[in-house]
Amino acid sequence: MATRYNQPSQLRDQDGDKLNISRWIWRSYLYNALVPLLLVEVLLVAAYLLTNDIIRDKNIEALSAISRERLLAISDQQSAFIGEKLQRIMQDTRYYGEHVERALEKPFDQNLKALKSVAFSPGGDLYTNRDQGGFALYYSGLNPVGEVALEKVQRLLRVDPLMTWIKSTHPEVAQVYFNTHDSLNIIYPYFDVISQYPPKIDIPTYNFYYDADASNNPQRKTVWTGVYVDPAGKGWMTSCIAPVYREDFLEGVVGMDVTVESAIHQLEKLKIPWNGYITLVDADGTLMVLPPKGEKDWGLHELTDYHYASAILQDTFKPKDFNLLKRADSRDWAAEIMARERGFKHISFGGDRLVAWSTISQTGWKLMIVLPETEVFAGVNQLGDEIQETGLLMMAGLAVFYLIFFSFLTFRARRNSETVARPLIRIAHMAREISEGRYMQPPLQTELSEFRYAGEAMVQMGATLGEEMAARKAAESRLMQSQHELEERVAERELAEAKLVESETCYRTLFETSSDAIMLLDDRGFFNCNPATLELFGCPDVKSFGTLHPSELSPPTQPDGLPSDQAAQQMIEQAFRNGSNFFEWVHWRFDSHHEFPAEVLLTAMKLGERDVLQAVVRDITQRKLVEQAIMQAKEAAEAAAIAKSDFLANMSHEIRTPLNAVLGLAKIGLRESEEDKSQENFAHILDSGEHLLGVINGILDFSKIEAGKLAVESHPFQLVTSVENITGTLAERAEAKGLALKVHYDSNLPAWVEGDPLRLRQILLNLLSNAIKFTQQGEVSLSVTREGEMTHFRVSDSGIGMSEDEISRLFHPFEQADTSTTRKFGGTGLGLTISRNLAKLMRGGIDVESQLDAGSVFTLSLPLPETQPAVKKDLVMPGVAGKQLSGLRVLAAEDVEINRLILEDMLEFEGAHVVFAENGREALDRLEEHGASAFDLVLMDVQMPVMDGHEATRQIREMAPELPVIGLTAHALAEEREKCLVVGMVDHVTKPIDLDTFIATIRRHVELSSSLPNETDSGE
């Protein structure tokens, strides 16, 4: 049997898995020596490579900074150099223009040399036909060349020496010339003009002339043209030109031409490091000069193929491919370059490039230095690549070393495993023999002392076990006797347990059949649950449920953001502290993590000596869905209310805008018409328009009431005066129907009270208007009485009256007493609804008493506390004579012509002076044109094209913070007033414009001169 255990590979553990000694020793080497060594080597190589990357990045960063400063310095230096050259050319161009101007002013000198080298072409063009060392002359036959023209030529002979001097002073200048409005061209140096120019050329149509005329150069400055093909045959060039005026008449344009070819030669002479090059870009973004180095980058070739046949007939400019702002591959970074004076930027254009630029201040041109990024960082990148290669070689060497080292360790592990495995196999054999009852074993023979000691211990253990087995048999007989006694005791206990089971059956039935999830848990977790729990949480059985941690039944966080485990701990502690705890919770199913809301009841109890919790969980998903549906319905209703309010606001605006014109023109017609019939017609138009305005205001007020946005104010006002104004408004209407309108005041009424006079007026006007409308004969009366701080306004009439059923529907919106009343008397049915709501907002109410065919009594009761008089303002009140805005200077922005007509009539009738603008942009232009001090006030319509009133007001606040702006709008909602105030308007007036309110609003915000009429003046 010993031969069964002579191989180390045969050693097995109790579970039957192979436990090879060789593998065990190999793993020990691997984990304790090889892996740490390998990890250290890998870290060293990684640190080496990472350090290389960091050093390379730092070098690139430093080199980038150096290249930036160096390129910007070169750019600034060359920009300044070119700018100085251009400045000298511009100065001499202006100097040349001044000499031409003086030459034209001097009288004709007969002593000057005659024009011996000129001749007329068959087409009538005057030209020089031979070179006498001076300029060339060409006088277009477009206009006949007469004596006056020849005298002009004689005068200009004086500037020939100056042109020669300028050309010699500026080698970069190709030509010096003077062109006149009637197509005279004097140009130096001489060339055959008659063969180059076409017959009857119109010189003012070329850019080297019209770029300096009054429309393009109103300041009469020296300017530079864009790049164009020279009709004189010099190729692509740009010109420095200046106008020559005689008084305010543009006599002509002097100029100096600089060719692109000469500019390229100049730029090629500049030594740019890193294989870079310089290019020039004009103020419009067009490449003026492109050296050969840059042609590949830009995909362009400097244009040499041009046709003078077309260039001498019209302007020929560089194509749009030369414009950086119009090229798709350059417009983004080109826009940044054109917007900044100088800078440095990385771009991707024909490869990675570095660009530095500066602005030539004299012309606005950009001098750009462009160089390949690879040239700048070539040295750093090469060094980094070499270090990278060294790192890879090191890694390859380490791989070879570890391959050899691994082979050696494998061999050593096998040898050591055989030395250790043999005694272990023998010891295992001895243990198996002892387990089979053969307790006496021979001693172990091995050279390893530790294993020898283990073999001796195994032999000793076998001897000891043999002795103990004999003693065990004696003890077993005694155990049989004790077992018999124990069985008798168990029978007694089973009887007691049967009774306990019976008592538990009732609880178990309730526990098992409950529709709510019931579970028990202690400090170790769940230890029992009912079937409803398994179904609710998606768990297969009670055993599986007992393995779950409570945190696995909830999502990570609760809806309040608190982590579930933290919140659960708080709830458990509260249950133990109070005995129970009832709360809502979000659980999820264990199998699908589907979340659901639940109600949870935790009850603390004891099972024996153990503290446990009973948790009852009820799924309330359906209840939450119902609550959510209710909330969605509420939100939908609120959204519908908002949509309705928006519709009413827009509808009001669309009606008020033309209504402003109707009412305004009706008032103008009523005031200026002299015929009675016309005045009557205009009065009818005015009454109908005001009635329509009242209907619109009623609908808006009702919309505000529904939205809860109708507000009332509170400030001091004169009670009796306010009531008299109201009754005075309706007196004419009552008189027209033959009704008596009577008013009675209590003697104890205070002079001043605190409240909202406008809303009081609105309510009383509605009640009194209704009384007059529904009364055909008799009288309408208003009595004002007071009890404490409560004031009662009692409106009674002798009209048609109402039944009880009609009274019950009286305050419903859009309803009147009955449908026949609506047809007979008209109305929207909103007046009383709005009035009752206004009364409630003012902490009062409206009561009604009525009998059919016996009249009605409406009583308005409002708390109006007595107060002190308000501070009197120096305002002209309605009805005061005199021009109330005399001398006022007004800027009015209004896009609708008819509204401008009405505004002009209103303001000029009151003595104001008006300047109009059709939109916000024009209003700003008027302010810039006349200055803010030219106006005392700005009237600003809100909705206009081009620029609306809000944006225009913001800019006016920046231009003239002290200039008041009053808004004009057809929106009648309070939100529009808030928008006007937010942007900086001091007030706003709604359309249709009420003249008295309009004038009062203006005078409230404008300090008028002492000569204007005020309350004192108009009263005398």
Q: At 618, is the pLDDT very low, low, confident or very high (cuts 50, 70, 90)?
A: very high
Residue 503 lies in a domain: no
pLDDT of res. 963: 94
The answer for 355, left when phi > 0, alpha when psi is -120 to 50, beta otherwise, is beta
Residue 12 predicted with pLDDT over 60: no
The CA-based angle 331-336-337, given to 5 degrees, is: 95
> Tokens at residue 945, please?
């094209």
Partners of residue 606 on adjacent β-strands: 611
What single-letter DSSP state applies at residue 940? E
Residue 451 reports pLDDT greater than 70: yes
Whether residue 592 sits in one domain with residue 697: no
Residue 524 lies in a domain: yes
Share of the chain above pLDDT 70, in %: 76
653-690 pLDDT, tens digit each: 667 667 666 766 767 776 777 676 666 666 667 666 66
Q: What is the pLDDT of residue 1009?
A: 42
Pinpoint the alpha helices (H) of 828-896.
Answer: 831-841
Q: Which of 242-251, 376-385, 983-992 has the lowest mean pLDDT?
A: 376-385
Domain count, the chain: 5
Q: Residue 738: what residue type?
A: G
Q: Which residues contact 768 (CB under 8 A, 6 or more apart)?
A: 726, 727, 730, 741, 780, 782, 795
Tokens standing for 799?
């009209």
Three-state DSSP state, 737: coil
Judge whether residue 478 has pLDDT over 80. no
Residue 915: pLDDT over 50: yes
Whether the per-residue pLDDT at 953 is higher than 90: the answer is yes
482 in a domain, yes or no? no
Any idea of the CA torsion for 561, 563, 566, 572, to the nearest 10 degrees?
Answer: 80
Mean pLDDT across the stretch 373-380?
Answer: 66
The overall pTM is greater than 0.85: no
Same domain, residue pair 930 and 905: yes
Q: Please tell me the predicted confidence (pLDDT) of residue 252.
A: 94
Q: Are 953 and 989 in contact (CB under 8 A)?
A: no
**Most confident by average pLDDT, 65-79, 312-326, 620-634, 939-953:** 939-953
Range from 345-359, 374-388, 703-717 that averages highest in pLDDT:
345-359
Q: Using pLDDT thresholds of 50, 70 and 90, give the confidence band for residue 10.
A: very low
Cα–Cα distance for residue pair 978/729, rounded to 1 Å = 31
Query: How sure is the predictor about 283, in pLDDT bands with cuts at 50, 70 and 90?
Result: confident
Q: How far apart are CA 336 and CA 330, in angstroms?
A: 10
| 965 pLDDT higher than 90 | yes
120 and 244 share one domain: yes
Give yes or no: residues 659 and 802 share one domain: no
192 burial level (CB within 10 Å; 0-12, 13-18, 19+): middle
Q: Hey, how many other C-beta atoms are within 10 angstroms of the C-beta on 728?
A: 11
Q: Is residue 151 part of a domain?
A: yes
Pair (126, 240) in one structural domain: yes
Residue 114, pLDDT > 60, answer no
How far is it, in rounded angstroms, from Cα 312 to Cα 176? 18
pLDDT at 601: 92
Query: What confidence score (pLDDT) does residue 306 get?
Result: 47
Amino acid present at 826:
G
The pLDDT assigned to 442 comes to 85
Mean pLDDT (whole number) for 856-880: 71
Residues 6+ apart with CB under 8 A from 859: 792, 793, 794, 795, 846, 847, 848, 849
pLDDT band, very low/low/confident/very high, at 111 (cuts 50, 70, 90):
very low
* Other beta carbons within 10 Å of 539: 22
Residues 678, 803 within the same domain? no
Domain of 163, CATH number, reads 3.30.450.20
- Which of 734, 810, 817 has the alpha carbon at shortest distance from 778? 734
Tokens of 524: 């170790």
Q: What is the mean pLDDT of residues 724-741?
A: 84
Question: Do 682 and 744 lie in a common domain?
Answer: no
Q: How far apart are CA 647 and CA 918, in angstroms?
A: 27
Is residue 914 situated within a structural domain? Answer: yes
- Same domain assignment for residues 950 and 997: yes
Q: Give the CATH number, domain containing residue 926.
A: 3.40.50.2300
What is the band of 174 on the pLDDT scale with cuts at 50, 70, 90?
A: confident
Instruction: Establish if 532 belongs to a structural domain.
Output: yes
User: pLDDT tens digits, residue range 916-928?
Assistant: 999 999 999 999 9
Residue bearing the bigger pLDDT, 908 or 115 = 908
Out of 651, 684, 704, pick the residue that ends a domain: 704
Count other Cβ atoms within 10 Å, centred on residue 156.
Answer: 21
Long-range contacts of 392-401 (CB under 8 A, 24+ apart): 394/45, 394/48, 395/45, 398/41, 398/45
Domain assignment present for 563 = yes
Does residue 936 carry a pLDDT above 70?
yes
Residue 825 has pLDDT above 60, yes or no: no
* The amino acid at 547: T
488-502 average pLDDT score: 70
Rounded Cα gap, residues 127 and 656, in angstroms: 73
Residues 139 and 207 in one domain: yes
User: Does 523 map to a domain?
Assistant: yes
Pick the last residue of a domain from 863, 898, 919: 863
On whether both 692 and 789 belong to a single domain, the answer is: no
d(CA 147, CA 143): 12
Q: Is 51 left (phi over 0), alpha (psi -120 to 50) or beta?
A: alpha
Q: What is the DSSP string of 653-717?
A: HHHHHHHHHHHHHHHHHHHH--SHHHHHHHHHHHHHHHHHHHHHHHHHHHHHHHHT------EEE
Residue pointed to by tokens 């362009």: 300
Q: Residue holding tokens 């046709």?
A: 307
The winner for highest mean pLDDT among 377-391, 767-781, 926-940 is 926-940
pLDDT at 597 (0 to 100): 93
Amino acid at 745: Y
Q: Which of 196, 228, 258 is the last residue of a domain?
A: 258
Average pLDDT across the chain, whole number: 79
Per-residue pLDDT, averaged over 335-364, amounts to 82
**Residues 145, 250: one domain?**
yes
What does the alpha-carbon distance between residue 964 and residue 874 come to, in Å, rounded to a whole number? 18
| Six-digit token string for 396 | 């390859």
Q: Is the pLDDT of residue 590 over 90?
A: no
**Residue 241 vs residues 593, 640, 1004: alpha-carbon distances, Å:** 82, 68, 57
Segment 964-989 mean pLDDT: 85
Q: Residue 609 corresponds to which tokens in the numbers above?
A: 């000596």
Phi-psi region of 19 (alpha: psi -120 to 50; beta: other; left: phi over 0): beta
Are residues 692 and 728 located together in one domain of the fold?
no
Residue-number span of the structural domain to which 681 is assigned? 626-704
Q: pLDDT band at residue 448, thresholds of 50, 70 and 90?
A: confident
Using only the alpha carbons of the chain, give its radius of gyration: 53
pLDDT value, residue 1014: 44
Euclidean distance between CA atoms 243 and 220, whole angstroms: 6
Give the max Cα distance, the chain: 166
